[in-house]
Structure 1
Amino acid sequence: MEVLNLGNNVPNLEEHARLGRYRAITRCMRDNKFRYAATGHTMDDQAETLIFRLVRGSGLRGMDGIHFKREDGIIRPLLGLTREQISSYARENDIDHVEDETNRDTHFARNLIRHEVIPLMKRINPGVIASTARFANVAREENQVLETMAGELIEDAAELDWGIIKVFNLEGILKRPPAVVKRFVIGVVSNLLAEARGIDSIQVGMIMDVVNGKRSAHNIKRLIRVTRWKNTVVFHAAGPRPFYTLEVCAPGDIYVKEINRTLGVEFKEGEKGPVTIRSWLPGDMMEGRKVSQILYSMGVMSPLRQFWPVIVSRGKVIGMAGMDSERVNMVFK
């Protein structure tokens, strides 16, 4: 048994506890080299989850409910059975069980749904638990279709993908149904944020306004910025600069994971490391010229310039990707 310390004054205790439980389970799996770990979620938990998400305004993506299996190896073998079925089995076979006393505290939204909302719904439809589970299955199947279509759109519309900046052609996007475009938006932002749960419907709506030309830009959690540029929509990292910094001690091929690019670095005669590769910063100068002006003359698209790799030695820019300089040469591989 593991006791989780969640701290005091947690803003969303239920969600914080849920995440804490899963962290503990995955840690136990890792420490013991288990491939799978089973939780006791039932069909009732599925119904409660869907009702909770519906009340919060979730879209179809959230209405596919709890899955039988997660990618990290957590499985839910009891999800097809009701809580009553499991309780009956335990009574008939003299199996003791313990109920967490906090499960009856209706100050928590999930408990309020369990003890007050669902009993009212059962007065309308006694089979509400099973019918809600069936709805989750339908939503899951339709989600798979939308996810496939959105994935195809991400691939078809992509003009540039540097990891922390992604550029898509608007022409193909605007021809697709809104539901597919919204799922496309969720997929791109989820990838940039590295959060599988994505963003809420309000944020999706704001980004759709950018896509449809109703607003010029939108920021997400101060981490991602979405803008229109000419006939494209651009998703890129926001926040403090530089966006990446690497120290290079010797020439050769250097992989920059943030932009998912490999750079070939060559030191010219007399030049020695270490040098620093980082993204361009406002005010950078090289050989008497503004780097921003050089990038413009090179035809680098405006949204990409802030992520462009430059080489710095002793605080001065001595080279940049795609341009031969007096001291170094750096090219994309």
Structure 2
Amino acid sequence: MRVFVTGTAGFIGYHLARRLLDEGHAVTGFDGFSDYYDVGLKRARHADLAGNPDFTSVEARLETPGALLAAVGEARPEIVVHLAAQAGVRYSLENPGAYVEANLVGTANLVEAVRAHPVRHLLFASTSSAYGGNTALPFRETDPAVTPLTLYAASKLAGEAMMHSYSHLFGIPTTAFRFFTVYGPWGRPDMALFLFTRKILAGEPISVFAGGAAERDFTYIDDLVAAIRGLMDRPPPRPGDGEGPACPGDTLSPVAPFRLVNIGGGHPVRVDAMIDELERALGARAERILQPLPPGDVPSTEASTDLLRALIGGVPETPLRLGIPAFVAWYRGYYGV
């Protein structure tokens, strides 16, 4: 296949591109190398991908007029996976403009590019933060998502809406998926596991919110990529094609070839238990400073996995006791500590 992936210098985009290349597919990677976190880490990811002759790199910003239109037109992909975004729940309180530009304007540019150059399947990365103030667990794709707690979450909900509208208007088979706390080798430095590892090894205290009682549905990167890869082969049918729901609670749109899917394992873990596992992997103890939950954070996340299982036959299963040591091994090797 010819696959166009945005955000290939990012954590998830890098891993997806590497898997696709390993399978023998041609990948065009589009990334703007923003300085939200260490650009050197992003360059290192892309350098690893560039060693494969089937990888083509396009360095440009999502919000630059015409950049995505030209890149998609040149690549002529069969599948587009839109992973690039301004990430981070808390950072959206500091720099809201970055979310408007990348996540709103950038996503609008992406769907316009796909409208001009139709593909077999368009896939869009959303977030579990879209569930916002919803307190019913597990989070089901059919739950109302009308109470976003941050601009980041709101921008991703807007992206889902844009995707659905273009799917309806132009018949683009589209799958939006909501990620749940992804971690693993080559991870993002702004995420808790990465931050905690750096500080523990440096002998610095870590801030633990909600007394460590907050729960997250941690998803190991290889499991996440396997789920995305499975969904790539399951484009939603067009209304009237005769294909029924994959299971009760399927989110197939009645007016568009569009579906929304959670990607998570459905096994939430307390943050203090995650830190316990990290301490074991590092062979070091953390000095924990307990703090209240910050604005925009939620006490618990848990994915309903029924739809994902029905579509691809499985769900993320790697436990923290295996995933965290794998991350620590990568971290020590990459940073030489």
**When the two structures are superposed, what TM-score results if normalisation uses the length of structure 2?**
0.25
The structure with the greater share of residues assigned to strand is 1
Report which structure shows greater RCO (CA 8 Å, sep ≥6): 2
